[in-house]
């Protein structure tokens, strides 16, 4: 499983300087992207996908055109916080 984590981490290190994987992140501040990775995504593509899903729902519901910190924290609140058994 360590190899999968390593691959995900390489992906997030190259992502902010390359093309965003989803249009919701196109105009996002790179510092906000880094904050999201530190606080919630942790280099995991699945976590990024879940956060992005919640962000796009929130953007649609609020009429926002881009991601901001308030919306990002709202998206965090929608994530499940399961713990390993």
Per-residue pLDDT reduced to its tens digit, 29-49: 999 999 999 999 988 889 999
Contact 51, 41 (CB under 8 A): yes
Task: Determine, yes or no, domain membership for 40.
Answer: yes
Q: How many domains does the chain have?
A: 1
| 41 burial via Cβ count (<10 Å: 0-12, 13-18, 19+) | buried
Contact 59, 24 (CB under 8 A): yes
More confident residue, 50 or 5: 50
Its domain, for residue 63, covers: 2-15+26-77
Q: What is the pTM of this model?
A: 0.74
Is the pLDDT at 22 greater than 60? The verdict is yes
Task: Determine, yes or no, domain membership for 21.
Answer: no
Task: Determine, yes or no, domain membership for 84.
Answer: no
Measure the CA–CA gap between 58 and 21, rounded to whole angstroms: 18
More confident residue, 43 or 75: 75
């Amino acid at each position: 499983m360590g190899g999968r984590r390593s691959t995900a981490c390489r992906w997030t290190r190259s992502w902010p300087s390359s093309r965003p994987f989803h249009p919701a992140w196109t105009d996002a501040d790179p510092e906000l992207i880094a904050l999201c990775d530190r606080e919630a995504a942790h280099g995991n593509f699945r976590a990024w996908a879940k956060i992005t899903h919640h962000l796009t729902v929130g953007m649609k519901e609020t009429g926002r055109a881009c991601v901001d910190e308030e919306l990002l924290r709202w998206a965090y609140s929608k994530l499940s916080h399961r713990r390993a058994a």
